[in-house]
Amino acid sequence: MKALVYHGPGQKAWEDVPKPTLVSDTDAIVRVDAVTICGSDLHILKGDVPAVTDGRILGHEAVGTVEAVGNGVKTVKAGDRVLVSCITACGTCRFCREARYGQCLGGGGWILGHKIDGTQAEFVRVPFADTSTYPVPAGVADEDMLMLADILPTGYEVGVLNGVVRPGDVVAVVGAGPVGLAAIMGARLFSPSHIVAIDLSDSRLDAAKQFGADVTVNNSLEDADAIIAELTGGLGADVSIEAVGVPAAFEQAVRLARPGGHVANIGVHGEPVTLHLEDLWIRDLTITTGLVDTFTTPTLLRLLISHQLEASRFVTHHFTLDQFEEAYEVFANAADTGALKVVLTRS
């Protein structure tokens, strides 16, 4: 089969590799019907994620058709159409029993396209198939379902739920990439009074308006602190969400939160970040961090089916699997191409 294989920083190729086979009796082999690329894949290609080694097939999001299952798989069978989530769950360890699947101790967590071969391929081996896949309901489009593999649960769990967004809140979202936009879409469900999207790119801010932000701030031209202060009588945002992953964005998110407010960090940080406790100790802030667990996937799916989440808004570009290298180009140059999520399907 063909797959998108990582060959060290800056190197990748759509090339021939052996088709995966069942290794454990809880595995499924899934034929990939729709797959996408994540910002984390770009981090890997920059060499930021050293756990990913030469020869690894990338990708941690897919919708596909089950081709084979091991003898220990109970609820998934050949022919089933499933979502392959970015988080794999053994289902039995201490953290899985608490629905904290991202922290799985039994061999799950973020493993696809990271510690084992991933979904950017014609076929993928999915460990713990019963607890790591979700059936695609009739009538749900593959590409809408695909948005539940990573970005929608990430924005919702690590941004909106950790940030405890409540009706009437002023919510500031620093970073309006796919994950920040997912946080904006998720925050809308709680009827905040204002959602302020903050980014450096006007095209991303335009997207933020479409996703439900009513105020947009271009960080390179405008003063977000002053704009939030004006909206909140000088207090600051009730909830401030960081969806970038750079020190300046985290420090800004902290500055923007009101006393007693929440700061929810989503961004993956590769450098040390300063926490100004000399200013913050007195402000009663709650700061959260998190890796997505995907425990809200069933909830988000119900919202998708009832049209309260318009997942299709994320999809800006379509390709076939053999156009993987071109799809990476378009996705990596989002400022020029306007890409949010690219979807690749079988031709």
Ligand X SMILES: NC(=O)c1ccc[n+]([C@@H]2O[C@H](COP(=O)([O-])OP(=O)(O)OC[C@H]3O[C@@H](n4cnc5c(N)ncnc54)[C@H](O)[C@@H]3O)[C@@H](O)[C@H]2O)c1
248 part of the interface to ligand X, by CB under 6 A = yes
Partners of residue 196 on adjacent β-strands: 172, 215
**Residue 88: Cβ-neighbour burial (10 angstroms; 0-12, 13-18, 19+):** buried
Contact 38, 60 (CB under 8 A): yes
Please tell me the distance from the alpha carbon of residue 318 to that of residue 307, in angstroms, as a whole number: 22
For residue 70, report the phi and psi dihedrals to the nearest 5 degrees: -75, 165
Of 208, 244, 264, 309, which lies in the binding site for ligand X, with binding defined by CB under 6 A? Answer: 244
Least distance between Zn ion and beta carbon 38 (Å): 3
As a whole number of Å, the end-to-end CA separation of the chain is: 14
231 part of the interface to ligand X, by CB under 6 A = no
Q: Which does 187 bind (CB under 5 to 8 A by kind): ligand X, Zn ion, none?
A: none
Residues 260-279 that bind ligand X (CB under 6 A): 266-268
- Contact residues for Zn ion (CB under 5 A)? 38, 40, 90, 93, 96, 104, 106, 108, 150
Q: Which is nearer to Zn ion, 106 or 247 (CB)?
A: 106
- Which stretch in 115-123, 171-179, 189-197, 280-288 sits in contact with ligand X by CB under 6 A? 171-179
217 part of the interface to ligand X, by CB under 6 A = no
- Which stretch in 35-43, 48-56, 138-146, 301-309 sits in contact with ligand X by CB under 6 A? 35-43
Of 175, 186, 192, 212, which lies in the binding site for ligand X, with binding defined by CB under 6 A? Answer: 175
Could you identify the residue written with the tokens 């020869």?
Answer: 55
Q: Which is nearer to Zn ion, 38 or 196 (CB)?
A: 38
Taking each helix axis from N to C terminus, what angle separates 178-188 and 202-211, rounded to the nearest 10 degrees? 30
327 part of the interface to ligand X, by CB under 6 A = no
179 part of the interface to ligand X, by CB under 6 A = yes
212 part of the interface to ligand X, by CB under 6 A = no
292 part of the interface to ligand X, by CB under 6 A = yes
Please tell me the distance from the alpha carbon of residue 176 to that of residue 91, in angstroms, as a whole number: 33
Q: Which is nearer to ligand X, 1 or 246 (CB)?
A: 246
- Which stretch in 62-70, 118-126, 240-248, 322-330 sits in contact with ligand X by CB under 6 A? 240-248
153 part of the interface to ligand X, by CB under 6 A = no
Please tell me the distance from the alpha carbon of residue 2 to that of residue 17, in angstroms, as a whole number: 6
Of 148, 196, 198, 343, which lies in the binding site for ligand X, with binding defined by CB under 6 A? Answer: 198
Least distance between ligand X and beta carbon 119 (Å): 15
CA 201-301-113 angle, to 5 degrees, is 65
Q: Which is nearer to ligand X, 104 or 266 (CB)?
A: 266
249 part of the interface to ligand X, by CB under 6 A = yes
296 part of the interface to ligand X, by CB under 6 A = no
Q: Which does 201 bind (CB under 5 to 8 A by kind): ligand X, Zn ion, none?
A: ligand X
In 3D space, the residue among 179, 6, 2, 148 whose CA is nearest the CA of residue 63 turns out to be 148
Q: Which does 154 bind (CB under 5 to 8 A by kind): Zn ion, ligand X, none?
A: ligand X
| Contact set with ligand X (CB under 6 A) | 39-40, 43, 150, 154, 158, 174-180, 198-201, 204, 219, 243-246, 248-249, 266-268, 290-292
